[in-house]
Amino acid sequence: MGSMGYELMQTREGRIVFILLVIVTVGLLVWDKKFSKKH
């Protein structure tokens, strides 16, 4: 991560993008687990 991630978190847009990325990543992981279990 380093300073680039820190600088991103300093801005409002960066924070929104970061949160969206986390939500999408978690959502895909959960979706993948559910889909794998059904199949």
Q: Mean pLDDT, the chain, as a whole number?
A: 83
For 2, the token pair is 């380093």
Low-confidence ranges of the chain (pLDDT < 70): 1-2, 4-5, 8-9, 38-39
User: Which string of b and e fits 3-16 if b means at least 16 CB within 10 Å?
Assistant: eeeeeeeeeeeeee
Q: Where are the domains of the chain?
A: 2-38
pLDDT at 13: 86
* pTM tops 0.75: no
